[in-house]
Amino acid sequence: MDGDHSIERCEEVTDAALETVFDALFLHRVRLEGMVLKPNMVIAGKKCAKQAGPQQVAEATIRCLRRRVPGAVPGIAFLSGGQSETDATLHLSLMNRLGDLPWELSFSYGRALQQSTLDAWKGKPGNVTAAQKAFLRRARLNGLARDGSYEAAMEQAAA
């Protein structure tokens, strides 16, 4: 995520990694129906001069997953991979809008779920309520992204 690689290079590497993972899973006779895949999204590195737009990220990610992830996998829970909260949420929502996917798409975010909570809390006991509200807000927005109904404009409305 911190490199200068293009989105195209990220897609190539993600494709190769997923191919290796599923080859090993098949070799070891892992029942795919019992797993949740936690991959990265296909994005350009932060230092890349040409950043991909949200729709391009969604399409590249889904294209890569369709190519390598069997439909027997029931769920994919994305890592945020250093993306901002709003970017990770928007990318997930756009992917879910692409429809007719063989897997459920959800999130397993760290920073992209907790950053606004930590910013509100600041380690001060008096900020706990504000931090809880920030966390609930972010969780609700990610929940909307989970079914493709999140819109970027909701960031202002939900604030």
The count of residues in the chain is: 159
Please give the Cα distance from 72 to 27 (Å, whole number).
16
- Which residue from 106, 24, 121, 39 is spatially nearest to 79, judged by alpha carbons? 39
Q: What are phi and psi of 95, to 5 degrees?
A: -65, -45
Q: Are 141 and 102 in contact (CB under 8 A)?
A: no
Active-site annotation holds for 50: no
Marked catalytic residue, from 38, 122, 124, 133 = 38
Annotated catalytic residues are: 38
